Structures are given as C-alpha cells and as structure tokens.
Structure 1
C-alpha cells in the first residue's frame, strides 16, 4: 500500500503544482476559467499560491506525515470552494474539476491511511 501512497501523492502534487505554475505565470487558461466562474482575475495568482502550497505540502508529507494530511485537507477544501464557484456561476463543465478534486481526495485518503 505504500507504493499506492507514493504514486497517488506524486500524481496529486504534480497536478496541483502544474496548475499553480499556470496561475502564477499568468497563463490564459486560469484567466478564462476565472471569467467563466465570475471570479475576479486578481484572485488568480493568490489561488495559484494556495495550489502551490498544497502541492509542496503533499510532498512534505513524505517527511512529516501530518503536513501531507493537512495539505490534502486544504486541497479538498479548495476544490469544494471551486465547485461552489462553478455552481454559483452556472458553469457545469466539471470534468477538469472532477480530476483535480478526485486527485486531492485520493491524496487525502492515502495520507490518512499512512498517518
């Protein structure tokens, strides 16, 4: 089961880390999503920082397991908030959201299992 923990954690960290980079460098995709979900563009970079912190926290969980659990909880909360933004804006294109949420939830499950 440890191999599952490693694979799931690395996948979730990579996924969220790449999203964080996209937000932080000002890529058009996060800006477009912000517009679709009626989120101010000024929030794109701070949200990217949160994603990056979650990605780093998942990796830190390899050394300090409680940090991995806390990071996974934070990412699950982040994506629940993103779901709320999607629903509020009437944007039901949730495939990408489901991928990110599923990865965060899986990371939480395996982190709790390890902890």
Structure 2
C-alpha cells in the first residue's frame, strides 16, 4: 500500500507542479494585463477591476499546490480552489456564448486530477 501512495504522490507532484507553472504564468499575464489575456476576459464580460483579484487567486492556487507537496491539506485545499475558479471560468464563457473554453476545461480537469491524487497520496 505504501508503494501505491508513493506513486500517487509522484503523480500529484508532476500534475501539481505543471498546474502551478500554468497558474503562475496566467497570474503574471493577468497582472501585467497581457493583451491576449485581457481581451479574452473582456470578451466574456469580466470587469477590468477584477483582473488583480483574479491574478491573486491564480497565484495563491499555484503557491498552495506547491506547498501541498509538503502539507497535504494545503495541496487539497488549493486544488479545490483551483477547480472552483476554473468551473467559474467555464460557466462565464458559456454564459457569454463564447465556446473557446478548451483552456479552462483542461485546467479544471488538471486541478481535479491534482485533488484526487493529493487525497489518495496522503
């Protein structure tokens, strides 16, 4: 059983680190108001005033996933937060009738995988 837990932890580490890198990049691009990111967010009706808050949420999710390598509860909590964040993103895109939702759907699935792997490896 210990071997299975070790395998799950390694899988969490890979998924968590990759997801943290994607979230970090997205947070930086949102903080710096990268034209592609802000145009996509504006297209679905996200107010400019929300950009800093959303960037902080992404950065916090990335940090939580990384801290989760050492503290299982933090990793699980961060993964739940990231799943909820991207479910909100998917809903926002669908409500705006913008079906270019591959990125938020993939990130939602990765966060869900990170959550399951973190819970199974604890």
> Which of 32, 53, 57 does residue 50 from structure 1 map onto?
57
Aligned position for 1:34:
41
> Which of 5, 10, 14 does residue 21 from structure 2 map onto?
14
Structure 1 gaps of 5+ residues are: none
User: Quick check: 1:16–1:52 contact (8 Å CA) kept in 2?
Assistant: yes
Structure 2 gaps of 5+ residues are: 1-6
Q: Pick the structure with greater CA Rg.
A: 2
User: Quick check: 2:23–2:61 contact (8 Å CA) kept in 1?
Assistant: yes
Q: Which runs of 4+ in 1 moved over 6 A?
A: none
* Deviation (angstroms), 1:32: 0.7
CA RMSD of aligned residues (A): 1.1
TM (normalized to structure 1)?
Answer: 0.94
User: Quick check: 2:90–2:105 contact (8 Å CA) kept in 1?
Assistant: no
In structure 1, C-alpha distance between the alignment counterparts of 2:52 and 2:36, rounded to whole Å = 13
Paired residue secondary structure (1:49)? helix
Paired residue secondary structure (1:85)? helix
**1:77 equivalent in alignment to 2:84:** yes
Count of residue pairs brought into register by the alignment: 115
In structure 2, C-alpha distance between the alignment counterparts of 1:50 and 1:74, rounded to whole Å = 9
Q: How does 1:94-113 map to 2 (within 5 A)?
A: 94-113=101-120
User: Quick check: 1:37–1:85 contact (8 Å CA) kept in 2?
Assistant: yes
In structure 2, C-alpha distance between the alignment counterparts of 1:39 and 1:18, rounded to whole Å = 19
50-59 or 37-46: which moved more? 37-46
In structure 1, C-alpha distance between the alignment counterparts of 2:51 and 2:106, rounded to whole Å = 19
TM (normalized to structure 2)?
Answer: 0.89
